[in-house]
């Protein structure tokens, strides 16, 4: 038998991977499917923050979980958000500043809390991210021509190259921050309620069909929305996790099925790539 090894067409690629330490992470200098690569990088970055850093407050946690809904394309169970944001144990694990003692008198140590965040990621978040990747894969576009290739997927203009999802996030964020900040009077509350379907896409009725009526019927609800005291701010955070995040999650899930991929090229106009997988 000859001592010369038979080489395949992929051996050169394998050799490049072995020589380039950067390639061991699964990244590449040029992307043929930038929407998938961009989504995967965003998912990775969010998970790093969740696992390594944690959050300073529940408000910060709520805002970050809202972002996570987009990286997961609405694939996390709706009830998970209120569980994380209302129960003392997960709150004391996710919040890493001294504020975590607000939620539990004897929180676990930092190392244990980090392991718990890793567990939550493995159990709930990463499977949802993987499901989102599969969902996006079905409609991802290939940019195979040299003039179309994307050298840095992280710098694509829109979220996962889908302007409709990017716009939805902006609308939802505006409404969410307004709730967390509170309102001047009931006129401002009514204005907010009238705009709420922009962010929920009408999905709030599946979470709480009497949401508007309960606000007007209950003085306690009006105090939560209108007063600045810290206890009311904390109640608004809980409202966000109980009502808005589940409705938002459903909206992202619905909108992800309809959002088209779009790449805008300033010099050559829009590209029409080929569909993949």
pLDDT digits (tens, 9 = 90+) for 67-126: 999 999 999 999 999 999 999 999 999 999 887 788 887 888 899 999 999 999 999 999
pLDDT reported for residue 103: 80
Q: Is residue 156 part of a domain?
A: yes
d(CA 147, CA 158): 20
pLDDT at 160: 54
Residues of the chain with pLDDT under 70: 1-3, 8-14, 16-18, 20-32, 140-161, 258-277
Alpha helices in 138-227 (DSSP H): 163-181, 186-200, 211-217, 219-226
State residue 217 phi and psi, 5-degree precision: -85, -25
Q: What is the pLDDT of residue 31?
A: 60
Nearest C-alpha neighbor of 80 from the set 68, 95, 98, 96? 68
In a domain, 152, yes or no: yes
Q: Is 126 exposed, middle or buried (0-12, 13-18, 19+ CB in 10 A)?
A: middle
pTM of structure: 0.80
What is the pLDDT at residue 4? 72
Bridge partner list, 55 = 95
Residue 239 CA to residue 59 CA, distance in Å, equals 11
Residue 158 maps to a domain: yes
Give a yes or no: residue 169 inside a domain.
Answer: yes
pLDDT value at position 198? 96
| 154 occurs within a structural domain | yes
Closest CA to 250 of 77, 123, 46: 77
- The answer to whether position 5 is within a domain reads no
> CB–CB of 80/128 below 8 Å?
no
Report if residue 210 sits inside a domain.
Answer: yes
**Total length of the chain:** 277
266 inside domain: no
- Report pLDDT for 268: 43
Q: How many domains does the chain have?
A: 1
Range of the domain at 65: 29-258
């Amino acid at each position: 038998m000859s001592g010369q090894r038979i080489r395949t067409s992929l051996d050169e690629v394998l050799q490049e991977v072995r020589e380039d330490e950067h390639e061991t992470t699964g990244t590449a200098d040029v992307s043929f499917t930038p929407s998938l690569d961009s989504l995967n990088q965003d998912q990775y970055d969010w998970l790093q923050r969740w696992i390594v850093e944690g959050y300073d407050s529940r408000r910060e946690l709520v805002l970050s979980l809202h972002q996570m809904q987009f990286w997961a394309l609405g694939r996390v169970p709706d009830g998970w958000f209120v569980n994380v944001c209302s129960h003392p144990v997960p709150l004391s694990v996710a919040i890493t500043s001294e504020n975590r003692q607000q939620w539990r008198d004897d929180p676990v140590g930092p190392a244990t809390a980090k392991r718990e965040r890793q567990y939550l990621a493995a159990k709930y978040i990463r499977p949802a991210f993987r499901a989102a990747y599969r969902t996006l894969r079905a409609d991802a576009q290939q940019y195979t021509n040299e003039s179309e290739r994307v050298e840095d997927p992280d710098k694509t203009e829109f979220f996962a190259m889908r302007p409709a999802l990017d716009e939805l996030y902006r609308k939802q964020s505006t409404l969410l921050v307004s709730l967390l900040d509170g309102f001047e009077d009931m006129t401002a509350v009514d204005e907010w309620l009238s705009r709420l379907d922009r962010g929920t896409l009408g999905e709030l009725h599946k979470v709480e069909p009497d949401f508007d009526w309960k606000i007007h019927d209950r003085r306690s609800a009006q105090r939560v929305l209108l007063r600045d005291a810290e206890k009311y701010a904390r109640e608004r955070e809980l409202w966000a996790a109980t009502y808005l995040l589940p409705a938002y999650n459903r909206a992202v899930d619905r909108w992800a099925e309809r959002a088209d991929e779009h790449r805008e090229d300033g010099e050559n106009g829009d590209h029409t790539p080929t569909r993949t997988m």
